[in-house]
Structure 1
Amino acid sequence: MEYSIGVDIGGTKILAGIVSRGGEVLYKQKVPTPKMGRNDILQELKELIENLTQWASLNDITLQGIGIGTAGQVNPFEGKILSGTANINNWGDIYLQQEVNSYSDLPVYVDNDVNVLTLAEAELGAAKGYHEVLCLALGTGVGGGIISKGELLRGAWGGAAELGHMTINFDGEQCNCGFRGCLETYASGPWIAKRMNDLRNAVKGNKEAVVSLTSEEVFRFYHLGDPFATKVVQTMIRGLATGVVNLIHIFNPQIVVLGGGVMYDGQWIIDLVKQEIQSLGIRTLVDDVKIELSNLSNDSGLIGAALQTWVNGR
């Protein structure tokens, strides 16, 4: 059996573990992402990798590499984080591959977190067996990954597939990236919650404070028939379906996989998106595309990160 270390670096936690080629997680450790950012994260990462390397040695496991998936824009060819994310302080302009190779002689691979999620979907998840794949991860933001002819589409330096920042309404609200009406402003958790809170506050005015809701609570109210939540979900589904159809028109995939925290228990969202898509798009491009919910576990980012050892090493 072949094994690798996988590391998933996110805004709230770092998850690291030893993963088999088949996606089994043998052992893992989780720590909060240090709030001070860069130097503390690098130190935490070093300790995690050294701990996992020692555990592997004690259990007679030979490691073949280290794969890291991280939020932010990544140049995978240089193993460099070009720019980070608002969720992680000072997380940019870092040659992460070099940093790790300063204390480990294993091959090191670094990529964007949604790219490695896409790898996991294509190798082991809902998109297994397909060679033209689109993946959208709906969470704090909306990230994307594209596989064409069985390989990740990376662009000039690895920045391809910023699918969440495709503008679908140029008169829409301003996104954190600076554009207006991005897909992220329709389908990410914070924006779903913001729309619901704005609607409730508009009715209450300044007379009564309204407790802010999360996207999970918005969905709960939607299933209970709440009119505000119904309007928010309808807007979300319309925006998400429009984005998906645009991507289908551009990339002609066999399958689109939707995952991420917003899609937890989200088969009903898949069903509504499929219904909406029936009224959109060029039929010859849209009709045969599968729209599927991710079927991977909460360790999918960790597993996808580890898979880089084998996929990138082919």
Structure 2
Amino acid sequence: MTKKYLIGIDIGGTNTKLGLFQIQLLRSGINENSNYLSKDNNIIYIIEHNNLFEFKNLSNTIFSSLKDRKELDREYFETSLVAKIDKFISDFEITSGDLLAISVATPGFPDNVRKVIISGSPNLPFLVDINFVKLFERFQHNRNDFCKRDILLDLVNDVTAQCFYEQKINKSLFVEDDGPALLLALGTGIGGGIFSKDEVFMGKNGWAAEFGHIPIYFSQMKGEVRKCNCGKENCSEVFGSVNAYAKELKNRSISLSPEDALEIYMKIISLKADPGNKDKSVIFEITRKWIEAVSSLCGSLINTFNPAYIVFSGAICQKTFLIDILSENTKKYCFSSFYQEVKFLKSENPKFAGAFGAAIFILKKEVDTIIKYL
């Protein structure tokens, strides 16, 4: 059987991640209500339109999204991205016709008709100038109008892509309750997603759940007003993103990463001790404020959506004690009857979930076309 491949791309404010996936049609005529089966984090089985597909993650790679000099950002990004795809093709000896699709998970508001990003990616402003049709033109087998070419191309919001992955692979979800679930991605900014056992809610144009741009309030703000890159004031991500946490540490002359600062904070509260020296007191104050910001957002989301789950994504969220702290601290920001129904969870395979989710998204969207080539 000829091997067929998809490439999933997850563009992040700090790093861009790519995954190469081999896809195989195992069986047709499957009951649509059958469970999705997962073998491990590199192979998953997906039932789509009564067909059972095997998705195998063959390789992943990563590169920094930004160049040191801003005027070179776009050129650097485009060159790096194309070079990574070239390396996949070379390393796995992918021949013409065997690369079926490229799916791009991107921050902001992707226009999947024109294959561009309209706006909404203030942390990577050059993205709005990229035409992804032209960028990937060299990988096309034919040179006619794009919709007639062999390789499929789709764009999807980055956190929405992660939702497709969590929906299929997170074994802690939908065991006793079908949802809904919220995905909260803490990183350079704050991203959001909404999904249930059977559906990912994308909104009219595929741009739903911009949780990072919901204005928040909590007592530790003490009247402080922060301007967001989007142009608004006091968006949740200017207080609750990991980038905001890191900036506050730097501004207070603390030479620690947010992850290391969080570890110190945890030791202080677990010992129920006074922070001690000045630096530890500052770390405690900054971390407490960051936790309040994220908790305030979670409370608003719980009051709005009455979810069964909140899934936290991002490297810092892999620290289980952070999820426990957020769970306990959110209680004061929402209705107690709503809060009691919510489970706080961490995401599965957060590093490449977006790339994997982008590949799943294009399978779901283009399944009728893809199946013709399998």
Which TM-score applies when normalising by structure 2?
0.70
Provide the rounded CA distance (Å) in 2 between the counterparts of 1:284 and 1:11. 36
Provide the rounded CA distance (Å) in 2 between the counterparts of 1:106 and 1:279. 50
1:216 matches 2:253: no
Q: Any gaps of 5 or more consecutive residues in structure 2?
A: 24-43, 45-54, 141-149, 269-279, 368-374
Provide the rounded CA distance (Å) in 1 between the counterparts of 2:12 and 2:106. 6
**Counterpart code for 1:279:** K
Of residues 119, 122, 134, the one that matches 1:83 is: 119
Of residues 56, 60, 72, the one that matches 2:108 is: 72
Provide the rounded CA distance (Å) in 2 between the counterparts of 1:44 and 1:167. 35
Residues 283 and 30 (structure 1), Cα distance of their counterparts in 2 relative to 1, 3 Å cut: closer
Using the TM superposition, give the Cα deviation of residue 297 of structure 1 relative to its aligned residue in structure 2, in angstroms: 4.5
Which stretch shows the higher mean deviation, 186-195 or 29-38? 29-38
Provide the rounded CA distance (Å) in 1 between the counterparts of 2:266 and 2:9. 36
Of residues 225, 228, 245, the one that matches 1:192 is: 245
Using the TM superposition, give the Cα deviation of residue 60 of structure 1 relative to its aligned residue in structure 2, in angstroms: 11
Provide the rounded CA distance (Å) in 2 between the counterparts of 1:100 and 1:61. 15
CA contact (8 A) 1:222 1:230 kept: yes
Using the TM superposition, give the Cα deviation of residue 142 of structure 1 relative to its aligned residue in structure 2, in angstroms: 0.9
Provide the rounded CA distance (Å) in 1 between the counterparts of 2:348 and 2:196. 21
Q: Deviations 1:247-299 (Å, cap 9, x if unpaired)?
A: 122222221101113313x2111111221233342233321121101122522
Partner in structure 1 of residue 165 of structure 2: 120
Partner in structure 2 of residue 180 of structure 1: 233
1:44 matches 2:64: no
Provide the rounded CA distance (Å) in 1 between the counterparts of 2:123 and 2:332. 37
1:11-160 counterparts in 2 under 5 A? 11-20=13-22, 22=44, 24-33=56-65, 35=67, 36-58=72-94, 62-83=98-119, 85-88=121-124, 90-97=126-133, 99-100=135-136, 103-104=139-140, 105-125=150-170, 128-129=173-174, 130-147=178-195, 150-160=198-208
Residues 29 and 252 (structure 1), Cα distance of their counterparts in 2 relative to 1, 3 Å cut: same
SS at match of 1:110: strand
* Alignment size in residue pairs: 303
Using the TM superposition, give the Cα deviation of residue 219 of structure 1 relative to its aligned residue in structure 2, in angstroms: 1.2
SS at match of 1:277: helix
Partner in structure 2 of residue 164 of structure 1: 212
Partner in structure 2 of residue 204 of structure 1: none
CA contact (8 A) 1:84 1:90 kept: no
SS at match of 2:136: helix
Q: Deviations 1:54-102 (Å, cap 9, x if unpaired)?
A: 5455599954422111233323454321126454352204442564356
Q: Quick one: percent identity of the two aligned structures?
A: 27
Residues 216 and 57 (structure 1), Cα distance of their counterparts in 2 relative to 1, 3 Å cut: same
Rg larger in structure: 2
Using the TM superposition, give the Cα deviation of residue 186 of structure 1 relative to its aligned residue in structure 2, in angstroms: 2.8
**Counterpart code for 2:340:** D
Using the TM superposition, give the Cα deviation of residue 136 of structure 1 relative to its aligned residue in structure 2, in angstroms: 0.7
Partner in structure 1 of residue 10 of structure 2: 8
Using the TM superposition, give the Cα deviation of residue 147 of structure 1 relative to its aligned residue in structure 2, in angstroms: 1.8
CA contact (8 A) 1:82 1:94 kept: no
Using the TM superposition, give the Cα deviation of residue 139 of structure 1 relative to its aligned residue in structure 2, in angstroms: 0.9
SS at match of 1:37: helix
Q: Any gaps of 5 or more consecutive residues in structure 1?
A: 202-209
Provide the rounded CA distance (Å) in 2 between the counterparts of 1:14 and 1:73. 17
CA contact (8 A) 1:75 1:81 kept: yes
Provide the rounded CA distance (Å) in 1 between the counterparts of 2:105 and 2:65. 14
Which stretch shows the higher mean deviation, 37-46 or 230-239? 37-46
Partner in structure 2 of residue 261 of structure 1: 315
Partner in structure 2 of residue 242 of structure 1: 296
Residues 55 and 74 (structure 1), Cα distance of their counterparts in 2 relative to 1, 3 Å cut: same
1:292-311 counterparts in 2 under 5 A? 292-311=345-364
Which TM-score applies when normalising by structure 1?
0.82
SS at match of 2:139: coil
Residues 31 and 276 (structure 1), Cα distance of their counterparts in 2 relative to 1, 3 Å cut: closer
Partner in structure 2 of residue 205 of structure 1: none
Q: Deviations 1:193-250 (Å, cap 9, x if unpaired)?
A: 333455xx4xxxxxxxx45433123213313423322222322222222211211222
